[in-house]
A and B are shown apart, each in its own frame.
Chain A
Amino acid sequence: MATVTNPSTASTGSLTAKALREATFTAVMTFLMFVLFVGLKTDQNMRNELILVPRWGLLAIFVIIAFVGRFAMVAWLQPWRTARKAAKDAAPAQTTDAGFVKRNFSKLAILALVLYPPIILSLFGAQGSLKYIDNFGIQILIYVMLAWGLNIVVGLAGLLDLGYVAFYAVGAYSYALLSINFGFSFWILLPLAGILSAFWGIILGFPVLRLKGDYLAIVTLAFGEIIRLVLINWQDVTQGTFGISGIPKITLFGIPFDASPHGFAKIFNLPMSSAYYKVFLFYLILLLCLLTAFVTIRLRRLPIGRAWEALREDEIACRSLGINTVTTKLTAFAIGAMFGGFAGSFFAARQGFVSPESFVFLESAVILSIVVLGGMGSLTGIAIAAIAMVGGTELLREMDFLKHIFGPDFTPELYRMLIFGLAMITMMLVRPRGFVGSREPTAFLFERKNVSGSFTKEGHG
């Protein structure tokens, strides 16, 4: 390691002056930006009229934080970073052999997930583990599945889809309506919901195929909104904003998870607990995720998957090679939508309740950001991003201890989405190419070498 030479006193002085200057500028800007929104609060008085409540103290805290933060950044963080970078460049580039963990990452990850419920159960008991299996396990896995599904459209085929949640909704409502009205079981409706979603994927895909880039983005967004608005307004069927409740639970090949004599607990002579159902659901969604991953990995090695990636790189070249880009795009839409539909019907079964609230644009945006943050096309990266984003926000729900610091009025829940948004910005700035920026080739002659992210394109759509 190269030793970092101490900067001379003269440059330290000028650095401090520079830091002071920039910190002052930032502080002034912060003051001007926040004076209206933080310095003053609109509130209602007894007569329900709006009044202004000043919060100068809070504003002062904001300004001071901005000043100190900026000063620290310019004076200490940036020089440290450049020094570290220089040291890194000076050090000989060493080719580290991929360690055991790295080489077998996916196998280990699957093993860990399979062992997760029993470990949690033994640690926290049946009741205490609910939260961990449901909120952290199932919730994250649903997003992993959705993001992997969208990855086919955005990450592989390079088509920007801002309305993915529509297919999730189609899947959820298909399950909800068909199981309530016709009494079909989950195992019949799961593939059916997938097919219906794929069908809608094609319906949407067909007219928009001619559109390029951002036109495609807005039409997919519009399509997502149309589906949601129809769900809200078509009250005879969907019951509008009230949503549909009492959706039947999933059975384990006919064995229901309830207190009846044929129930799971009775048959296996276990004490009654809702934890079994949750564990069952956990394994089910894990299985669905693995199916998605398996299919995606297989598809990438098939001509259709290669054609998707080629489409992302250069559509015109694709056509010059005799590839029918229309059907290629449609299959991407359809297969991506199908996984959205699977996830949707699982979601409906797990919640027992669906309403249009769950299918707002924000959901599409979150799923898309998981795909991009993970690194387009990379299953591992996307799974990590899903854990970080969804797990992170779930963690924020748990921040009750903050009440002890900020007083009982403090609701951490309120800050959840604010922090979520800020985290999205920060992560993107730190890693614009996502967690896993490189691409794994689908075939090799001599040696499998990952393709650096600087060569891959992101598609025109």
Chain B
Amino acid sequence: MEYFIQQLINGLTLGSIYGLIAIGYTMVYGIIGMINFAHGDIFMLGGFAGLIVYLLIMTVFGGAPIAVALLCMLIVAMAATSLWNWSIERVAYRPLRGSFRLAPLITAIGVSIALSNFIQVTQGPRNKPIPQMVNSVYTIEGISISLKQIVIVIITVALLAAFWYIVEKTPLGRAQRATEQDRKMAALLGIDVDRTISITFVMGAALAAVAGTMFLMYYGVIVFTDGFVPGVKAFTAAVLGGIGSLPGAVIGGLLIGLIESLWSAYFTIAYKDVATFAILAFVLIFKPSGLLGRPEVEKV
């Protein structure tokens, strides 16, 4: 039982990270119907930004309290990746909007390849380990929870709340939802569609940067290829939850995190990713538009 709860906690932590990345996929998909393949690499970029800020603080500014350091890492990483995603959208996706649907998918794959190799070239191909940032562990009745897990879950929940507020209660969120439903109509009603889409990319990137920084803090290491696997997992999570649905992305992320940690704990760790993908395929066979996705009515 304790073991189970332990795995549950590990799964939730991992799931939080997936969920944050998945939101970026789901938002971009919802608003322009495009699979943003480069999103996983945006996440990796965020992790690297966090890493560089951390090293700056430690070596150049001679260290700082952990909370301050973490806050700086998060803020700079969010700013940097937002800027990147904004520029990428401007250069590689916007000119193709409204043309052939597969064209932006291919440029996104191109961006993904270019981004990870850009980091490889500029930052080197090796693993980048950092010392433990947060290392206190609390043990309650045999279940150990590390402080970093608590930090991750708290930050995720706080961000989700803020995010939910933006999407549901602000004019910006309204513009986003309107653009999602009918881009032409939204434009006719005076919504700046281009700007709304740009902001969506920026928001997605900011969340991915948080996920990237927390990934770095949790595992204490990052490498230029780290965008792919979490990216695919998060994409899987978004689809599992029903792509286009924000709560779906979070639930999908948590589910994938749980499946992964429980499978590794009770079965073989080797096949944990196989299990994840197999469950995705299985769910989709019975619910073709994901857990919370609106079923697509076939209007004849």
Contacts and interface: CB of A to CB of B under 8 A. Distances in A.
Interface of A: 29, 32-33, 36-38, 40-44, 50-52, 154, 160, 207-208, 210-212, 214-215, 217-219, 221-223, 225-226, 229-230, 232-233, 316, 361-362, 365, 368-369, 372-373, 376, 414-415, 417-418, 420-425, 428-429, 432-433, 458
B123 A37 contact: yes
Question: Which of B48, B110, B130, B232 is packed against the most chain A CB atoms within 10 Å?
Answer: B110
B114 interface: yes
B48 A219 contact: no
A425 B114 contact: yes
B201 interface: no
Interface stretch (B9-17, B91-99, B158-166, B180-188): B91-99
B277 interface: yes
A42 B109 contact: no
Contacts of B288: 210-212, 215
Given A36-B52, A210-B285, A215-B239, A424 B106 contact: yes
Nearest to A422: B114
Contact of B112 (A208, A210, A421, A432): A421
B63 interface: no
Contacts of B124: 41-43
A420 to B, nearest CB: 6
B103 interface: yes
Contact of A424 (B110, B120, B300): B110
Nearest to B117: A418
B235 interface: yes
A70 to B, nearest CB: 11
B118 A418 contact: yes
Contacts of B294: none
Interface in B280-298: 280-281, 284-285, 288-290, 296, 298
A362 B37 CA distance: 12
B265 interface: no
A218 B106 contact: no
A36 B50 CA distance: 10
B60 interface: yes
A32 B83 contact: yes
B103 A428 contact: yes
B49 interface: yes
A223 B273 CA distance: 11
B266 interface: no
B55 A214 contact: no
Contacts of B56: 40, 52
Contact of A417 (B60, B117, B271, B278): B117
Interface residues of B, number: 72
Contact of A51 (B55, B107, B113, B235): B55
Contacts of B126: 44
B273 A369 contact: no
B106 A421 contact: no
Interface in B258-280: 268, 270-271, 273-274, 277-278, 280
Contacts of A38: 122
A378 B300 CA distance: 31
B296 A212 contact: yes
Contacts of B218: none
Contacts of A373: 106
Contact of A425 (B45, B107, B117, B278): B107
Contact of A229 (B102, B120, B273): B273
B294 to A, nearest CB: 12
Contacts of B111: 421, 425
Do most interface residues of chain B lie in helix, strand or loop, or is the interface mixed? Answer: helix
A214 B122 contact: no
B101 to A, nearest CB: 6
Given A37-B45, A361-B232, A414-B117, 9 more contacts: A50-B128, A223-B277, A225-B232, A225-B273, A361-B228, A365-B109, A372-B103, A432-B96, A432-B103
B106 A368 contact: yes
Contacts of A425: 91-92, 107, 110-111, 114
Contact of B99 (A44, A418, A422, A432): A432
Contacts of B37: 365
B254 interface: no
B87 interface: yes
B274 A230 contact: yes
B210 interface: no
B199 interface: no
Contact of B55 (A50, A154, A219): A50
A372 B106 contact: yes
A58 to B, nearest CB: 9
B239 A226 contact: no
Contact of B280 (A44, A218, A362, A368): A218
Interface string B67-110: 00000000010001001100100011001100111110111011
10 contacts: A42-B55, A215-B289, A223-B277, A229-B271, A365-B109, A421-B114, A421-B115, A425-B111, A432-B100, A458-B102
A41 B121 CA distance: 10
B243 interface: yes
B236 interface: yes
Contacts of A223: 277, 281
Contact of B100 (A214, A362, A365, A458): A458
Contacts of B119: 37
Contacts of A423: 110
A148 to B, nearest CB: 17
B118 A428 contact: no
Contacts of A43: 124
Contacts of A36: 48-49, 52-53, 76, 80
A422 B92 CA distance: 10
Q: Closest 10 A-B residue pairs measured CB to CB? A: A421-B114, A424-B110, A421-B113, A222-B277, A418-B117, A425-B110, A432-B103, A233-B270, A417-B117, A432-B99
B92 A41 contact: no
A373 B99 CA distance: 14
B27 interface: no
A210 B295 CA distance: 12
Contacts of A432: 96, 99-100, 103
Given A233-B270, A425-B107, A222 B55 contact: no
Contacts of B284: 208, 211, 215, 219
Nearest to B277: A222
A446 B296 CA distance: 42
Contacts of B103: 372, 428, 432-433
Contacts of A214: 29, 35, 239, 243
B78 to A, nearest CB: 12
A217 B281 CA distance: 11
B135 interface: no
Contacts of A372: 102-103, 105-106
